[in-house]
Each structure stands twice: as C-alpha cells, then as structure tokens.
Amino acid sequence: MDNFFTVIIILGALLLVASLKTTVKVCKKTSQRAWSVLLCAIIFFIIGYWWILYYFSNHDIAPVVMNMVAMLLLGGGGFVFLVIKLSLKSILKIEQATQYQKYQTEHDNLTTLPNRDKFFKSLSKQVEYPSPFSLFYIDLNNFKQINDAFGHQCGDQLLAAFANKLNKELCGIAKLYRIGGDEFAFLLHTDTDESMNYCVNIINSAVKSPFCTNEQMVKIQLSIGVSRFPDDSRLPDQLLKKADLALHEAKKTFQPLVNYSSAIGKRAEDFFDLSAKIKVALHKDEFELYLQPIMDSKDLQLHGLEALIRWPQDDGSFISPEKFITVAERTGLIFPLSKWVVQEAVNHIRKLKLFGFTGTIHVNLSTKDIESSEFYDFIISLLATDPTLSDSLIFEITEGAMMTNIPAARKMMQQLSMRGFKFSVDDFGTGFSSLSLLRELPINQIKIDQSFVKDMLTNSPDYAIVESTLFLASRLNCDVVAEGIETKEVEQALLSLNCDYLQGYLYSKPINIDEFINVYLSAEKVS
C-alpha cells in the first residue's frame, strides 16, 4: 500500500480527533441537540477512516483511486475541523458580547461599581441565609450645591474619586455599590457593634481629606443610614427602604449615622399618611386662607395683609403649616398647594377691592416654588388675565429657601421683578447669609423675625439686631416689617426707630376673610 495514502488518511482522522475536543466545548456552551448529533457523527467518521485504511491495506486498489479517496477524506476532516473551530469562535464572541452587555447592565459607567440592580440581586441572595448582616446606605451631603458651584463635570469627578477611594478602603470587608446619583450602599456580613464601628471609621477615613477634582479641592461629608437583618426585616425591599428611612433621619437631624428604629418607621408612616391626607384635602378644598393685618407705622392704619394657609380639622383644631408644608415639599405636593394659596389670594384681592381695599397681600413661597419653572408659568398666566396683579401681590421668601439654591432664586426673582412683582425676605436675621442675600437678590422689603422683636426691650442683643437691620434697610432703600408685636411698649420702641410697618397679635391674630371684612372693611370703616 502506498505510504502517501496511509499518511493522508491518518492526517484526516487526526483532524477529526482534534475536532472532538472543540465539539465537546461547543456542546457544553449550547443546549442544541444538533451539536451532540455531530459529536456522535465525528466519532463514527473516525471509525470509518480507520476502516477505510484497513480495507485499502488488505485489498488491491488502483493507486489513483486510493490517492483520490485519501484526499477527499483529508478534505472532509479539514472541513469539519475548520467549521467546528469557527463555530466555537463565533459562540465565544457572542458569549463575550453577552457577558459585556450583562456587565454594562449591572455596573455603573461613571464609577465602574456594581449598580442598584446588582445590589438588589446580592441583597435578595443574602437574605436566603440565616446569618445576620447590616445594610449601609450612604449619601453625599449637599452634592447638588457642589454641582451648582463647580459644574457637573467636577461633580462626576468627585463621585468617581470618592467611589474609588471608599471601594479600596472596604476591600476585603464589603463590596461597594452605587445605588444612584450620590447614593451608595454595601452589605456588612455582621451586625456586631465592634464591626459596625470599625466600618464607620473606615468610611470616615475615606472622606477625611479633601478630593481634588478639576483643580478644585472639595471636602465632602456623608450621611449614613443602617438597617439590620433579620431584626429590622427579612425582606430585601424592606431592608433597603428602612436603611433609606434611617438615612433621611440622619440628614434631617444632621447626624453622621443613624440606625433604623421603630420610632423612625412610625414617623415615616405618619409622613406618608399625612401626604395622602394633603392630596385629599386639596381635592376636597379643605384648606382655608387666613389674613393677618400689616399696619402702617405713620398712622397705625391698615397697610396690607399676609396670607397664611390653614388646615382646619373636624374637631376644631388645625394642623400646623410647618408640619404639612414640609411634607408637601418632600412629596412634590408643594406646587399644587402653593398654586392654591396664590389663586385664593387673587380671589381674596378681587373680593376685598369691592369693599375698598387698596393694599397688598403678602404670599409665602417655598424653596421648591422658586426653583420651579412651572410655578413661574402659573404666575405669568395669572398676570395675563389681570395685568394689575403685580401691584397687589408681594412674595415672601425665607432666607433658608433662598440660600438653598441662590442661582435659581436669583433667576426666578429677577424674572418676576421685571413683571412688576416685589419680594420680601421673611424671617430676616435667622440665617447665616442675610447680608449676601441683600447684595445678590432683588429684594424690596425685609421682615424682621419675631424672635428678635418679642424680647427686644429685655434683651439688648435683640434690640441691637433690630436697630441695625432698620439702619441697614434705610441705606438700601428697603422697607421693613417688624412681626411678632404683642405689646404697646414694643410698638412704641419700633416707632421710635422709624420702622415702616408693624405686624403681630397686638393688632390682630390671623382671621378669615369674612371676619377681616367685618372688622376692617365694614361700611363704617370704609366711610
């Protein structure tokens, strides 16, 4: 038998044998039966190749025929080898692309940390085991202000730098996840106080030094909320929710870390319950607008009014505005609430004018109002209906509200000032940046907070603050309203200091419009 024939047949068989290993890999990566059938066929072909070699070795076959058969079998073996090899390569590429896509869906692009979905999968898996663990929920304080001050690029760099540093610090202890925005989380596989304190120290050390971003040195502070398995809950979504509630408690109370408690849960339930009641109250028109007179110091006659929202209850009590307005701001209900107040104030103005009222009504705006383009559009729509409205409304904004987002406050106030509206700074002196506000914002009036007015005659620092505010306002051509006046002695002191306008229980408590008309705008009063 020709040696060439033998070599070629053996090479073809070896190609098939080599294909077996690749075919087995393909079978492991795919569930399609065709590849299993092909594997069996290759084994059958290998046996066939050796049979042909045996047969041709023991029979007298023309060399030309033998060589042709050998080349065909070699080509067949080579073809099978190449097809399977290329198939495996394609499968591996698809698998790699799938894995990359999976990685992208489970990881954050900015920080490269596992994302919220990945965290929830890990959390769901962890609760299947009985071992206790703690869920840490971390938030960067005042991150929005950092974005506003230095730009979003700087903010992104800060997030990436913080995530990288904290992830390194936690290496071997816990895996850090980015939940979204400036929020991060990780699971600590123990709930002992010692381990918790150790972990907190690690977190604090990670933010001890300022971060250098875009040539800016930025110091960050954190708020941390913690929930524990199984004490707080055995359900993944509830554990995350309770850690989030603890986080909000930490931010609200200015604590670096808060552990979830039943008291926090009760407050959250009350919060959401009140939110639902606000929606119902808006729908049923349960709110009322009360009016408190503002007196002109020249003659102690009525000058204007402050509109104050009230929420009466069936038992005759009232829910504090401070309480439900805070809830409205956090739940997105502040716009419909502020819209109602402004619309009701406009309705009051129209009614009061029929009785000869020519003054202004002060309307309080919240932090969210001055940041909302929707609120601005609403005011402009009212102005289109009544162009004289800007002469009848004065917007009051607290220092704190303006300081929350000065660029937004400046934009809103400038736009409305161009439309003829005036602005009053409420609770002046209680913040930390009163003077800077007067310099940066279009303010027409200052309201001295009642905490300084009430005790100004018995507390010399309070008197000095009132006196200095009046002096400053006169130099800035701003009117001044002193609120919280309850005695004649305080009234006389303010008159001697040339305070422009006076407000307080000495003149009237807040009353409804019908009572106000009866007291101040009756026929006798008008005449």
Residue 375's domain is classified under what CATH number?
3.20.20.450
Judge whether residue 6 has pLDDT over 70. yes
Reported as a pLDDT band with limits 50, 70 and 90, residue 318 is very high
Q: How far apart are CA 260 and CA 240, in angstroms?
A: 11
Asked whether residue 356 falls in the same domain as residue 234, the answer is: no
Q: For residue 432, is pLDDT > 60?
A: no
pLDDT at residue 364 in the model: 93
Please tell me whether residues 241 and 327 are part of one structural domain. no
Quick one: 98 and 160 in the same domain?
no
- Looking at the structure, tell me whether residues 120 and 231 fall in a common domain: yes
> Out of 34-43, 75-84, 163-172, which region has the weakest mean confidence (pLDDT)?
34-43
Confidence of residue 475 (pLDDT cuts 50, 70, 90): confident
Residue that is last in its domain, among 79, 106, 133: 106
Domain boundary among 82, 106, 130: 106
Between 142 and 78, where is the model more confident?
142
**What is the pLDDT confidence band of residue 238, given thresholds at 50, 70 and 90?**
very high
Q: How many domains does the chain have?
A: 3
Q: Residue 434 above 60 pLDDT?
A: no
342 with 474, same domain? Answer: yes
Flag whether pLDDT at 124 surpasses 60.
Answer: yes
Mean pLDDT of the chain: 86
Which pLDDT belongs to residue 525? 47
Looking at residue 429, what is its pLDDT? 66
| 426 shares a domain with 358 | yes
Percentage above 90 pLDDT, the chain: 48
- Residue 269: inside a domain, yes or no? no
Closest by CA to 196, choosing from 184, 208, 183, 186, is 186
Confidence of residue 332 (pLDDT cuts 50, 70, 90): confident
| 172 phi-psi bin (left φ>0, alpha ψ -120 to 50, beta other) | left
Q: Does 14 map to a domain? A: yes
* Whether residues 95 and 120 fall in one domain: no
The answer on 138 and 201 residing in a single domain is yes
Given this model, what pLDDT does residue 31 score? 65
**pLDDT for position 524:** 42
pLDDT-derived band of residue 363, with 50, 70 and 90 as boundaries? very high
Q: What is the mean pLDDT of residues 430-457?
A: 80
Same domain? For 122 and 89 the reply is: no
Same domain, 235 and 298: no
Picking from 304, 290, 292, 291, the residue whose alpha carbon sits closest to that of residue 501 is 304
Query: What pLDDT does 527 receive?
Result: 32
What's the pLDDT score for residue 526?
40
pLDDT at 279: 94
Domain closes at, from 106, 124, 148? 106
Same domain? For 139 and 36 the reply is: no
What sign for the dihedral angle of Cα 146, 149, 150, 152?
A: positive
Residue range of the domain that includes 132? 116-260
Report pLDDT for 435. Answer: 66
Sequence-distant contacts of 43-47: CB under 8 A, at least 24 apart: 45/16, 45/76, 45/77, 45/80, 46/13, 46/16, 46/17, 46/20
Contact present, 173 and 189 (Cβ < 8 Å): no
Q: 326 and 468 share a domain? A: yes
Q: What is the pTM of this model?
A: 0.67
Q: Sheet harboring 133-140: ordered strands across?
A: 177-180, 183-188, 133-140, 222-229, 257-259
Structural domain contains residue 266: no
